Structure 1
Amino acid sequence: MATLYFFSTLVLTIVVSVPINVLGSAYCGPVEAIDKDLVQFPLNLEFLEAEFFLNGALGLGLDAFEPGFAAGGPPPIGAQKANLDPVTRRIIEEFGYQEVGHLRAIITTVGGVPRPLYDLSPEAFAQLFDKAVGYKLDPPFNPYSNTVNYLLASYAIPYVGLVGYVGTIPHLANYTSRRLVASLLGVESGQDAVIRTLLYEKADEKVLPYDITVAEFTNAISGIRNELAMCGIRDEGLIVPLNLGAENRTESNILSADTNSLSYARTPQQILRIIYGTGSEYMPGGFLPRGGSGKIARSFLDKV
């Protein structure tokens, strides 16, 4: 366990190649926006999750189920069917259908936005995992090669949407918006909990062919997300030092939460810094090579 703590500390302190916020120091406060724009912003995550889960389980994306939801936006780059065990495949298939429902709920309530271009290729995930561990993995990380790899890649996605919803709710003005986002948050939280539990069952296992355990990978991913978002620690892996566990009484961390076991929150700017992989809401990249859709995401790109 001491080795794990050392690795986790190393990940949080390592200097990674992340561009700084191009328009100055990182802003950590809320974005000024109306309900419609705040509720539409999560479509950037919901599209991503729908495409990743549907393709991972079935080899088919959103266009095979609800092509109109894309509003003319392009299909993702590099998404593939994953080599999953039967139980995990059924879970991920269900998650994919849930994301279709989330898209429908948002679009019918506040309207949609064009699906942005996503890069869900093995290369895009490999770059994220290289940044997380601080060096190039050999062979490159491939999320689609087996169940454990796919679950680790999934670990990197729903939690970002979860903390975004937590951060959004206090800034919504009307009941309809709050009810919708609270309902979305409930299911996103459940997805994240299932993924983290499946990984926790394998926490001490090495992720072959790397000399890194499942828990160490989760700590690394959480560490790079904190690094990219640049607004403090709002993300923790599956195993933590006792002083960070629930009530300082456990090292397990199946649900990531603060001192009072309340969910962490993130702003749209922080979320864009993470999913762009650049540490800047003004600099697209990563899973969104051309940037996000909707008024909030595009407003930052218009300032560059």
Structure 2
Amino acid sequence: MRFRIFTEPQQGATYDDILAVAQASERLGFDAFFRSDHYMKMGDAGEIGLPGPTDAWTTLAGLARETESIRLGTLVSSVTYRPPGILAIQVAQVDQMSGGRVELGLGTGWFEQEHLAYGIPFPAKRFGMLEEQLEVITGLWNTPIGERYSFEGAHYTLVDSPALPKPTQARVPVIVGGGGAKRTPALAARFATEFNLPFPDFADVAGKFAGVRTACEAIDRDPQELVYSAALIAVAGANEAEFARRATAVGREPAELREHGLAGTPSEIVDRLGALAESGVECVYLQIMDLSDLEHLELLAAEVVPHLS
């Protein structure tokens, strides 16, 4: 099982805060550092999330030059934020800047309020946009140098694009996820290298993965070509008092965290992860909400990861 750190900087973090967590994640041996792609704090409407948002791909460009080995990506970028041609350029450039360590998670977006707050259009129907963006982005990257790429769809039209720049990686990993029963698995089967379940009910994991495998088989793709992952909040404590303190710090109840996340003592979390592995989870995104608590990362790296890596 691979372990990745997943952060939510829109809740209130500077670039330096994010950098500290990314560099700690690298030093502690985590496989990747991922961040959300949002422009507004979620939760209490009275809190605005100082110091304000950081742009995901601007952040990752900085991290690409200030880290050496850890993989970097978004979970997930929204199709509403950037036209696919621009996103393809951004991701390819950050991949070059990092020496080939970038991954792209892409989704439909859902947080309407941030769109209203920053003047970003938020169409009611976005799944078609996601499908076309995946086709355009991968099409641009896969177009041989010297050839041109054109596309005409319901949402986007590209005419004689030089399809540059190219990523450093021969194939940038693309993550598609969600709980949909048919359309999302079909999209993952067509375009993704990884299928991710964000904050799933534990009992649903095996069935959701089975749906993706069926979608792969329907188009004659080997289901084993995909990585199967899950994103879950992680709150650990060496003892009950430390766990309760960390739960309070992120505004969650200990019992609720134990029910829905990777929470409690390291041994409890190891047991939960073991069950997830039996359900088919190969990679886990540990959602870390308190970016100031680097000792939390150290505990997870020392007392959880070695039991399942």
Same fold (TM over 0.5): no
The one of the two structures with greater contact order (alpha-carbon pairs below 8 A, sep at least 6) is: 1
When Rg is computed on C-alpha atoms for both structures, the one with the higher figure is: 2
Q: Indicate the structure with greater strand content.
A: 2
Q: Indicate the structure with greater helix content.
A: 1
Q: TM-score, normalised by structure 2?
A: 0.27
